[in-house]
Each structure stands twice: as C-alpha cells, then as structure tokens.
Amino acid sequence: MHRSFLVVLSAVAANLGLASAALFTDPADILADKQYHYIVVGAGPGGSVVASRLSEDPQTNVLLIEAGPSDEGVLPIEVPYLAYELQPNTTHDWNYTTTPQTGLDGRAVIYSRGRVLGGSSSINVMAYTRSSRDDFDRYAAVGGDQGWSWDAIEPYYRKLEHLVPPVDHHNTSGQVEWQIHGTRGPLNITVANAPFPIDSHVVATTQELSEEYPYNEDMNSGYPLGIGWAQATYGNGIRATASSSYIRPVISRPNLDVLINTITTKILRSRHSDEAGVPVFSGVEVAQSSTSPTFAFNATKEVVLSAGAINTPQLLLLSGIGPRAHLASLGIETVVDLPAVGQNLADHPRVGNQFSVASAQDDLGDTIGRNSTLFDELLQEWEEKRQGVMANGGTNHIGWLRLPADDPIWETEEDPSAGPAAPHYEFLFRPAFASSIPGTPTPATGNFMTVLAVLVSPTSAGSVTLSSASPFAPPVIDPAFLSTPFDVYTMRAAIRSAARFVLSAQTWDGFVTGQGAGFADVDLNDDAAVDKWARAQASTIWHPTGTARMGGCGYVEEGSVVDPDLRVRGTEGLRVVDASVFPFIPAAHPQAAVYAFAERAADLIKSGRRFC
C-alpha cells in the first residue's frame, strides 16, 4: 500500500518537474510508519553501492542516510582539475584534525573526510588503483574466505568499471590495457585527459633507469609495480563519484529513499535478543543537528554501516559496541564488548618533494595558478567542451615500488607488505609546486615540479576513539604516523628514491635544475636531515582504513570486528561495508577496493550467506 502511494507521489513530483522525488532533505518528511528492509548509513562508495544494488529488487525497500548535502551542481565536484578546492575546511568536509602526532614532531594533521552525497569520492583526488593481487589474497587468507581473493574480486572490478577514452582522443595504446577493464559498469574511469609537460620525461626515465623504475603498461592488472599512466575516476571530462554513478541514476526508484543533511546518531537495538541471546539491531536514530528533534527508522532486515573508517567506529562505540573500558569511561553501556572497534587505524603518510624546473612553460600548475586570465580561459574551455587541463586531475603518472630484496632493513624487520607483487612506497608526479601540508603557499617566484612520496605499507597502527558520548562531538583520531622504525626508514628511502628518479636520469637535464622550494635545503646524504624533512612535511593522503577490520570465523583470537560476511561480531542485523573493514590497508589508493568490496557485499547480503 505504501509503495503504490509512493509511486503516485513520485508521479506527481515528476509532473511538477521535481528531479528526484525520493530525495528527502528532512527526516520529518518521511512517513512515520514507513517500513524499510535495509537502512544504509553513509553515501560514500561503500553505502552507495550497497543501496543501489539492494534496491535493484523492486520488492526491497532501502533507506540511504547521508549526513552531508547533495553533490548535484557543485562545480568543483564536477571539474576534475578543481579537486583540490574541495578540502580542507569546506562545506563538504567533516573538518577533522588528528591528535598531536609524536612521529611528526608533535604536529596535529588536518584530516579531511567527505560529507556530501558520494562521501569522500565526491571530494577525493580521483586516483583509481585496484591494489595488488597479493593484497586481496591476504584478505582471503585472513578471512579464510576465497571470495575475497584477487581472482574472485577481479570480476567485480570489471562489473563496476566503465573505461572510457580520454577527452583529447589521444592514442592510449601502451598506456592502459583495455582488455582487462570493464566497459559497461556504472563508474567511469579514464587515462590522462590532457598532457603534462613532465609526462615524456617520466616515461623516458623508465627506459633510462628501467631496472629500478620499470614501465608498467597497466598498474591495475594485479601487478602494480613500476611506473605507469594513472587511471582516474572521471569520464567525458566530469568527475565520477559514488553518487553520480550509483545513486543519482537510480534515485527515481520508488523503493529507494535517500535522506540527506541528516546525521545518524545511534544504531538502535530491538527490544529482543535472538534465541541465542545475541542482541538484534533493527533501526537507527537520526537528527539534523544537536538542537533539532530526533527521529527513528526501523529496518526489518538489516542496518548497514557505511559511514567510513572514522565515523563507522564512532557510531559503533556510540551504540555500545566496542572496548568495554573505553565505553565505561564515557558512561556508555556496553552491548557487545568488541575490543578491536576503532583500533588498527592504518593510513598512508605522504611527503611532497619539490624540484626546480628551468622553464615556466614546464610548470603547468603554477603557470595556471598565477594567471587568473588563463585559469578563466581553461575553465571556459571545460564549460563549453569538457576538454583541456580542467578536464584532467593533478597526476598523470604513478609509481609503485619496493625496497630491494637485499635491503639491510630485512635483517631486523619482517616485510609488512602483502607479498612480492605489493609495493612498499609510491610516487605521484605533479607538474607544479605541491606541499603535503595543506595551506602552504606556492612560492611567489620560481618554477617547480613535485614528486610526492607515499608510504603504502605502514606498520604504524593508530586508533579512533570517542571524545564524548555526544554524536555531535568529533572523534579522537590518532593515525600514529611514522611511529615505527620501519615506517621512518621506508619514508626516508622513498624520499631518496624520488630524488634519484629526477636527479640521476639524463632526460631531466636542463628540464630540472635541482631540488627546489623547501626540499632544496634537505641534505639527502644525511639520514637525520631526511627524517627531519619527513617529520616536518608528512601528512595524510586521506586513506584511513581498518577500524572495523574483518577477521576469520574464530573471533577472540582474531581481534577483529566483522566476519567474512562483514557482519558485526556478536550482533544480529548489523553489517559494515566501507573502508573500515580492510584487515590490512590496501597498498594503493583505496576507493577502487571499497567499490569492489561493496559490490561483493551487496551480493552476500542478497544471498543471505552465513559463512561462519
């Protein structure tokens, strides 16, 4: 009865010209006795994929709740080149900051998270990297479930991708292997929409120094090692997000309601436990602000938490699921004593290493940044044709590298990477001055390029805890950056390697004149000087994971939060589908793996599988 009523409602709305009848901006507008099968909290890649796939069945009613506003019509979300304007401290950011980081000389780090339909995929910098085969095979081993292995997940990558030609129609032969990608999925990806002056030199270095820096034709084959062309989440010159690809195209489904501007404040327990005495979660409490009324919605089947690696553990803790002592310290009653909730926070620290470039023409980013006439012209080109530099992101090449097999570090340290196909560190090449400290101004004069060095196999483990029992208080975020000898060592090696790439290959002679900007003063021969630079410059590349990690079927030994079905241990009716569940951080930009995990999770939910 409700459904037919809603169909009429949406028909009326369509007649009135409303774009999306199922988009609610106020919980008060949802009928009080509306019955949902599934409630999904958070509209990032995790939640959007699940809500979209579950609502493919017209008999299944889904409510997707997002704290932030709609992403529609927001220019910097649409224009790839403007990605860096979306954070920090904007209307689409949670504006978080970490605790003072001991490994970073006591500095607190700005910690942006997307707060908008599409989640962080609407504000991220769009790198699309699938991770190595070894990363997924380790997930399968940890979960004891071959369904998380590379061979089982790779078809999901093909299902979710739509590889489209670049907007400048250049010949992509040798830059991407079309046959390993999907071309019919919802998420548009492409390779290099516009050329950068540094591109040919990056590629030439892979020929000159091919032993250390081999060329990789497609880093998304499961074997990412080497240097290659970056793929990114845009197509036809427009950013592709979890919202634009999974939610907006299906928002007219009568069985999918999307509620924005609304914060889920708690997951609700039903009055009854199941026969075994296990607590059943069957709804959520929501509010639009700390001073507005609260509302409750029920899910007859499940609540799926997809609030991301910071807010998912926050919500679990607020709902009494987590380490008993921490909950007790805030006066929260423990419903399930789960010590690993909020623990094992892993993230990738990055350091921007600048080089001086001889010619202003080769410093594309700063040439545009310093000339508003040129900027306006390029934006106009995008508006008219969806082409040019604005149709492209900030990086055309990425490198994935390992410490050598005979590195002395292996005398004292176990290799933390997932296996020989997985990298320890990463390069990102930017044709501009780029700093890893948000807000650092570009020098008024001089021309630059930057190689960002990123530690992708960290052994540092941090945490997310509550500062207060109020859902409106920011959580305490401690990524524990550079807090282990391995991480300090590997970041030092990565910075030196970045300098070697640019300063020891002849192709850069005359193009690059040496280390530049703040990096100019760093003596690369001095361990202490390189470490000082790393501790002063490192910040997040925005990849928090692991705070509700997946483990195998035995739970106490595993120290995990969810089982291989992604169900929260010790509960009924509650799952986590987002970046929180990775038991180890993917040695890659994680959005691709979140989309793929969520695609499989949707199938697991539909099938009702109970693995354990």
Ligand X SMILES: Cc1cc2nc3c(=O)[nH]c(=O)nc-3n(C[C@H](O)[C@H](O)[C@H](O)COP(=O)(O)OP(=O)(O)OC[C@H]3O[C@@H](n4cnc5c(N)ncnc54)[C@H](O)[C@@H]3O)c2cc1C
Supply the residues annotated as catalytic. Answer: 543, 589
Among 338, 579, 587, 605, binds ligand X (CB under 6 A): 579
Annotated binding-site members? 116, 542-543, 590-591
Q: Does 45 bind ligand X (CB under 6 A)?
A: yes
How many residues would you count in the chain? 612
Among 236, 261, 292, 459, binds ligand NAG (CB under 6 A): 236
The half-sphere exposure of 472 on its side-chain side, counting CA atoms within 13 A, is 9
Judged by beta carbon, residue 97 or residue 207, the one nearer ligand X is: 97
Binding partner of 235, given ligand X, ligand NAG, none, CB within 5-8 angstroms per partner class? ligand NAG
Which tokens go with 501?
Answer: 């790439």
List residues bridging with 383 in a β-sheet: none
Q: How far is the CB of 552 from ligand NAG (least distance, A)?
A: 32
Residue 462 identity (one-letter amino acid): G
Residue 120 touching ligand NAG (CB under 6 A):
no
Binder of residue 238, out of ligand NAG, ligand X, none (CB less than 5 to 8 A by kind): ligand NAG
Cα–Cα distance measured from residue 94 to residue 115, given in angstroms and rounded to the nearest whole number? 6
Cβ atoms within 10 Å of 267's Cβ, excluding its own: 26
Asked if 437 is part of the footprint of ligand NAG (rule: CB under 6 A), the reply reads no
Site string for ligand X, 58-97 (x = CB under 6 A): -------xxxx------------------x----------
Q: Which DSSP symbol is given to 98? A: P
CA nearest to 40, candidates 607, 602, 596, 608 = 602
* Binding residues for ligand X restricted to 341-380, rule: CB under 6 A: none
266 binds ligand NAG (CB under 6 A): no
171 binds, among ligand NAG, ligand X, none (CB under 5 to 8 A by kind): ligand NAG
Give the residue with the Cβ less far from ligand NAG, 88 or 339: 88
**CA angle, corner 66, sides to 61 and 69, nearest 5?**
125
Task: Determine contact, residues 289/253, Cβ cutoff 8 Å.
Answer: no
Positions at the binding site for FAD: 116, 542-543, 590-591
Give the per-residue SS3 of 23-60: EECCHHHCCCCCCEEEEEECCCHHHHHHHHHHCCCCCC
Token pair of 269 as six digits: 């327990």
Kindly state whether residue 584 participates in binding ligand X, applying the rule CB under 6 A.
Answer: no
With contacts defined by CB under 6 A, name the span among 54-62, 203-211, 304-312, 530-538 that binds ligand X: 304-312
Is residue 298 a contact residue for ligand NAG (CB under 6 A)? yes
Question: Can you give the C-alpha Rg of the chain in angstroms?
Answer: 24
Q: Does 33 bind ligand NAG (CB under 6 A)?
A: yes
Indicate whether 93 belongs to the interface with ligand NAG (CB under 6 A). Answer: yes
**CA-to-CA dists, residue 211 to 205, 214, 404, 486, angstroms:** 10, 6, 11, 24
d(CA 300, CA 573): 9
Q: How far apart are CA 311 and CA 576, in angstroms?
A: 11
Would you say the C-alpha torsion 240, 242, 243, 244 has a positive or negative sign? Answer: positive
- The beta-strand segments (E) located in 180-278 are 187-191, 226-229, 231-232, 234-235, 238-239, 256-259, 263-273
Min CB(403)–ligand X separation in Å: 23
Q: Does 440 bind ligand NAG (CB under 6 A)?
A: no
- When asked if residue 240 is in the footprint of ligand NAG (CB under 6 A), the reply is yes
CB distance 94 to 310 below 8 Å: yes
**What's the closest the beta carbon of residue 271 comes to ligand NAG, in angstroms?**
5
Q: Is 299 in the site for ligand X (CB under 6 A)?
A: no
| Of residues 374-433, those binding ligand NAG (CB under 6 A) | 374, 377
Which tokens in the block code for residue 157?
A: 């990558």
- Identify the residue among 9, 30, 152, 164 touching ligand NAG (CB under 6 A): 164
Closest CA to 464 of 125, 40, 113: 113
Question: Is position 37 an interface residue for ligand X (rule: CB under 6 A)?
Answer: no
Instruction: Please identify which residue in 6, 22, 40, 41 interacts with ligand X, judged by CB under 6 A.
Output: 41
Question: Considering beta carbons, is residue 50 or 167 the nearer one to ligand X?
Answer: 50
Residues that bind ligand NAG (CB under 6 A): 33, 89-91, 93-95, 115, 162, 164, 171, 173, 188, 235-236, 238, 240, 244-245, 270-271, 283, 298, 371, 373-374, 377
Residues that bind ligand X (CB under 6 A): 41-47, 65-68, 87, 112-115, 119-121, 123-127, 263-264, 306-309, 311, 315, 542-543, 578-579, 589-592, 594
